[in-house]
Amino acid sequence: MTVVACAVDSGCLLGEGPIWDGAAGALYWVDIEGRRLHRLLPHTGATTSWDLPEQPGAVAPRGSGGLVMVLEHGLAAFDPASGDLEWILDPEPELPDNRFNDGKCDRQGRFWAGSMHGVEPARATGNVYRFDPDGTVHCMIAGVGIPNTFAWSPDGATMYLASTLERVIHAYDYDTSTGSIGNRREFATTRGEDAFPDGSTVDAEGYLWNAQWDGWRVVRYAPDGSVDRVVEMPVQRPTSCMFGGDDLSTLYVTSARTGLTRRRMRRQSLAGGIFSVQAGVSGLWEIPFGG
């Protein structure tokens, strides 16, 4: 039996983007609608939160120190020690209604992130960007709805990207030397089910773990896209997942309470919290942003 426990009853409106900072021994995640960044130090149980000027989408450790994150209108550097935020660039100044959503670093230290329409998510005004350590930015996919699941196989040769509105996770061939993608194909889908694929991570065995919005579950997919395991969650809207801890054996799962009625909240009072799952497998170390 897979053990699921509440690690932090954080009450996030839209908890998202968990990332394990191995150097700091810390789990970071964001509350998009709450405009906050959170940190958990599992060794002590201590939590810290920072208010942000815009809705954050995703965060990653930075090789030169601190963090890098995407907020509504672009990429920024953040120093947890001082709380200082420094804007780096906005690749979409002509799209003021867009906001950045999910994002993560590839195994070479490039930061990928996707944008979406901040008011009408069904409008495919979003784009997927690759931010390179040399300061350049590249639009890799244009005209998307809600991009989620930036994840890579252990060898980095396969990239996974979810289109939440389409209820599909795609796989791409990934050129680790250039960061280019190709040969898009359908990896897994939740069509016909009451679940939407949201954020993901990959374990050391090359299996993809996907949190499924409105599905009350996290699903582990084999490299061929077949369902290997379903972990039932005590909340309706798990949003993303990330392995953490000293041996990367704990799967942390973020969740949301936004849009839930009072009646539904009575059934899931911990919605918006962070959950820990003893999954019986370990994850992979995250690579910091190289810029």
User: For position 174, what pLDDT does the model report?
Assistant: 98
Would you say how long the chain is, in residues? 291
Question: How far apart are the C-alpha atoms of 93 and 172, rounded to whole Å?
Answer: 28
Beta bridge partners of 68: 60, 77
DSSP state of 287: P
User: For position 2, what pLDDT does the model report?
Assistant: 82
Q: Which residues are catalytic, by number? A: 198
Instruction: Give the domains, in start order, of the chain with CATH numbers.
Output: 3-278 (2.120.10.30)
CB 206 within 8 A of CB 153: yes
Dihedral-angle region of residue 263 (phi above 0 means left; psi in -120 to 50 means alpha; beta otherwise): alpha
User: For position 3, what pLDDT does the model report?
Assistant: 87
User: Phi, psi at residue 39, to the nearest 5°?
Assistant: -140, 135
Closest CA to 129 of 84, 52, 68: 68
User: For position 228, what pLDDT does the model report?
Assistant: 98
Mean pLDDT, contiguous 10-residue spans, the chain (291 residues): 91 98 97 98 97 98 97 97 96 96 97 96 94 97 95 98 96 98 98 97 98 98 98 98 97 97 93 97 97 90
User: For position 1, what pLDDT does the model report?
Assistant: 63
Question: How far apart are the C-alpha atoms of 3 and 281, rounded to whole Å?
Answer: 13
For β-strands 147-152 and 137-144, DSSP reports them as: unpaired
Contacts of residue 265, Cβ cutoff 8 Å, sequence gap at least 6: 257, 271
pTM: 0.97
CB 268 within 8 A of CB 260: yes
